[in-house]
Structures are given as structure tokens and as C-alpha cells.
Structure 1
């Protein structure tokens, strides 16, 4: 499910007129800018050691001398909900259509035999109407949400390459596509407690690049790995990534490697993390 990333991309590509109209309608929202000196402070903090016990909680898909590839994306623990809701609508529409088709068959039989068919006609139209009421809005508005999750491996990937000193974010085209970012411009919520969410709970590791480093007019915000239970987990995850990129994999605990194959249960395991 790429719901958060999808919304962020839609906001980024909104026409200028639409963004200005939104600002006028929401004048009470304060937009605090980040100064260049603060950007430099965040990046400088990310270059320092965060802790003495680096550890990746994963999932990690590739790990060797040159590449570290991990799961990325926000709201991983909510993934599966869109599939469940979509299947509920699809199965309900299909079930009502099946009843309606069965009723139409009985209706033809009654008409051909000259028997009363008013009640059967009403029931057939009733179930056909329910099926259409569910199916038509879903096809018009719901299908675009379903494709964010169903029939995909449903995980964004982020690849750290030591050789090129670049970070590659793999997203679908409708979420911004593949983005290449410089390692030397990264800042992290795991580098210092003042950059992390309160307590570090319930949020994955957050990596950010300011527009100075993205080459665009907007920053890049990326969430990596599992949601943390405390700030120490954010620190350990970040230190693992930092040491890999700056010093190499020597001395780091080898993480468990997860298969790229989209096993069905991998779509729901984040909900139990």
C-alpha cells in the first residue's frame, strides 16, 4: 500500500493555482520554513555516530559489500486493510449479481410457462440494483485505491549503494517513480533525539533530503524499516545504515535476508510487527 506516498506525490504535483487557493482557505495553518543553517545542522548530525550497537531490524532484501537494500514506506502496519475492504466490496457485488442472474433465469422460466412473475421480477431487479450500487462507484473511485495495494508486492524498496554513494528510492510511477539521492545530503530522525518523534514510538526511521540536495523544489521524506518501539531502535537502525555507507559492512551484525519473492503472507506480516 503506497497511500501516504501517493498522497504526497499528488500534493507535490498540484497546480500552482490550486496550492495558492488552499493556502487562502487555510490561513490559520502556519508554515514554518527550514533555514539553510538548520539544514546544515541536520546533515552534520547525521555524519556522527549515533550509538555503539548498530542493528537492523529489517526487512533487508540485499546485503553485500556494495549494496544494502531495505523495505521502505509509511503505514506498513496498516497494509492489508485496503485489500480487505476491496475484497468485501468485490465479493458483495459479485454475490448480489449471482443472485440477480439466478433470479433472471427463474424469471424467464416463469414467463415462458405463463406463470405470475411480478415478485420474481422485483427480487431480480432488487439484487441487480444492489450489485450496481456497489460496483459502479467502486469502479469509478475505489479501483484506483485498490491498485495501491492489491496485485503488487506492496513494498517500496530503498537501496543504499556504497560504490556510488547514492541512495535509490524505488516507487511506482504514480507515486513519483525512482529517485536518486546523494548520501552526503541525508539527515535522519535516528541521529539525535531532538530530530525524532516523541519517544520514537510508532514511527519507522525517517530519512530526509532538503531541496538543496534533491535538485527539485521540494524535499524528499522517506521512511525505512519497521516501526520503532523506542528511540534506541531508531538509533541502532540508523547507525547500521550509516556505518555501512561510510565504513562498509565489516564489523556489522549480518541481518536476516528476506526474499524478493512476493509471498502472500509478507503483505500482512507488518501488521504484527
Structure 2
């Protein structure tokens, strides 16, 4: 499921009318939080110092060699299958019933002259128009959501190329398309130990801010599986950092995953990040998990069908050959790489990512509340 990436790209390319409509329903505090980022904080969040002594990747990793490493990225992978289930579960029975009724009536009109009448012809035309209208509105408004799981790239990919010191993102056009960034512009969310309690169920996030890339919008990639704590995210980032800075010999060789539509990946994705939580949970919670196992089977099956109905992503030739002797180095993504209409929208929303100068002011300590004087009854 590419819902998070699609939502971020929609935010970056939002029209003026849509943005005004969203701002009218947004609370003032939410507006301040959306742009509340200071220059000093960004400098602290982009560094390449060691953050862990145990570099480790939990995958999935699809390629690993001296030149590049391919990893799966994308948020909400554990929820993949829900859109497939709603699409096929809704359109499938409706399409079957519509085809059966409509074409049966047309067949009767064409083969049985006694049945032919103004009413029968009108009914056939009515059924055709009903089905046509439903699929028209689905194609116009619903297919954009279906494409988040069906008839699109099987996975979002991120490629780390050591030889060119670049990071490449492989995404559908609706989620921002293929992009290239210098490695040294990459920020990470897996840096600080104090985030450990807030990182359960989260993925490692890589961020490219406009102040580093020169683009008018922010880019983001959510790496690998859900973590069970900040320590796992720091281990994942340290694995990537050492690979890019020192080479594949500096990290444990990972187990490679297949890019084929594996049912193991489909069913195991639902349990990412639950291991530590499940071990420490009560027996009642474990009993409830056992009782709802049919739901996991249904979602896992829909996840697998989603993978079957997608195609394997393929990198452009210039990225596939990057790092080989005599081959050109891919150019970093610039604003001119996007269509003119997208360029205008990206520039119109550029103020979303502007940094506040200096350092965040310290919060003033709250004054202790004085207890009310008790009335002493005489």
C-alpha cells in the first residue's frame, strides 16, 4: 500500500483551491506545527556519525553487492490487501451480476422474437447505462485508490549506490515518480535513543529537505519493516550508513528476498513490529489474537492477490548502469524534471517546508498552581 507516499505527494502538489479548503478546517495549532522546523534542528538531524554498535538490517533487501543495495520502502505495508479486498469484493459480485442480467436480456432479445418489445429493449439499454455510469465514476474517482495496490509497481524501492554516492527512489508517478538524491543530503529518523518508546511499530524514515536538495518540496522514504523500538531503527540506519561510508565488508551480509509475489511476504507483513509487544502482552490479548486468526488469513490472501496483480519495478537504464566503468552518473533530480503543471504546484506549496531561522526557543516553565484556600467553617 502506497497511501502515505501518495498522500505526501498530494500535499506537495496540492492546488490552491484544495489547500485553501484544507486550511479553513485546520486548527491554528495544527498550522503552526506543520511548519514548525528550525535550522538548528535540521542540522542535528542530518549527520553521518555512528549511532549503533550493532548494524543490522531486518530487510527485505533485494540486491546487495559492491556497487549498490536495493531495499523495500513504503509505509503501511502491513495493511496492504485492504484496498484489494474492498475493490475485488465490491466490483467482483457487482460486475458478475451486471454482466449476467444485461447480456442475458440482450441474448433473449436477439434470439427470441416473441420476447422482443419496447420494454425489453429499454431494460437492456437501462442496464447498459447503469453499468457504464458505475464504471465511469469508478474510473474517474475510485481507480486512483485502487492503483495504490493493484496494477502498479509491486514494491517501492530505494537503491543505495556506493560508487556514485547517490540514493534513488523508485515510485509510481502518482507517488512522486523516480528520484535521485546525493547521499550526503539524506536525513534519518533513527538517530536518538530518547525516541525508543515512540518508535514501536514505526519504520526507519529517510528525509530529504529542500534546503539540501534544492527542490521546492520535501521527499521521504520509509524503509523496511516496522521496528519494535528505536534501537532497531538505529541498527537499520547504522547498517545503511556503514554500507555507504565503508562498504559491504563493514556490515553483516543480509539474507536476500525475492521480488516475486511470495505468499510468505504477504502473510508475515501483518505481524511486523508485533514480536516484542506480543511476548510482553497478557494471556487475554494472546487469546484474542488467536480468535481473530480468520481476519489475518483474509487480509494475507488479499495482500498476496495484490502482489500477483502488480508488476516487478524496473530501474531506468541510467540507474541500472550507474557505478559501472565508463557509464554516466545519474543527475540528481531537479525541478525541471517534472511537467510544467507539477512545477507550478510544487512552487506554490514550497512555503510548507520553509525553515525558521536560528534555534527553537526554550519553553518557559509553567508556574505552579496555588491551591485554593480552604474555607474554615466556624
TM range (shorter): 0.7 to 0.9
Distance change (3 Å), C-alpha of 1:198 and 1:137: farther
Match of 2:263 among 257, 262, 265: 265
Report the counterpart of residue 11 of structure 1 in structure 2. 11
Match of 2:44 among 41, 46, 55: 41
Distance change (3 Å), C-alpha of 1:169 and 1:114: closer
Q: CA deviation digits over 1:122-143, x for unaligned, max 9?
A: 9979977875675343233112
- Point out the structure with max Rg over C-alpha: 2
Distance change (3 Å), C-alpha of 1:268 and 1:122: farther
- Do the aligned residues in 1 keep the contact of 2:45 with 2:189 (CA within 8 Å)? no
> Are residues 1:206 and 2:209 paired?
no
Distance change (3 Å), C-alpha of 1:122 and 1:24: closer
Aligned positions, number: 268
Report the counterpart of residue 96 of structure 2 in structure 1. 95
- Do the aligned residues in 1 keep the contact of 2:153 with 2:171 (CA within 8 Å)? no
Cα RMSD of the aligned pairs, angstroms, is 3.0
- Do the aligned residues in 2 keep the contact of 1:93 with 1:130 (CA within 8 Å)? no
Gaps of 5+ in 1: none
- Do the aligned residues in 1 keep the contact of 2:109 with 2:116 (CA within 8 Å)? no
- Do the aligned residues in 2 keep the contact of 1:93 with 1:132 (CA within 8 Å)? no
- Do the aligned residues in 2 keep the contact of 1:190 with 1:238 (CA within 8 Å)? yes
**Deviation (angstroms), 1:182:** 2.1
- Do the aligned residues in 1 keep the contact of 2:210 with 2:217 (CA within 8 Å)? yes
Distance 1:114 1:185 in 2: 73
Report the counterpart of residue 81 of structure 2 in structure 1. 80
**Deviation (angstroms), 1:65:** 1.2
**Deviation (angstroms), 1:243:** 0.8
Distance 2:128 2:21 in 1: 42
Q: CA deviation digits over 1:17-60, x for unaligned, max 9?
A: 5434533442422323211111111113xx22222111111110
> Are residues 1:254 and 2:253 paired?
yes
Distance 1:128 1:169 in 2: 43
Distance change (3 Å), C-alpha of 1:98 and 1:25: closer
What's the TM-score once normalised by structure 1's chain length?
0.84
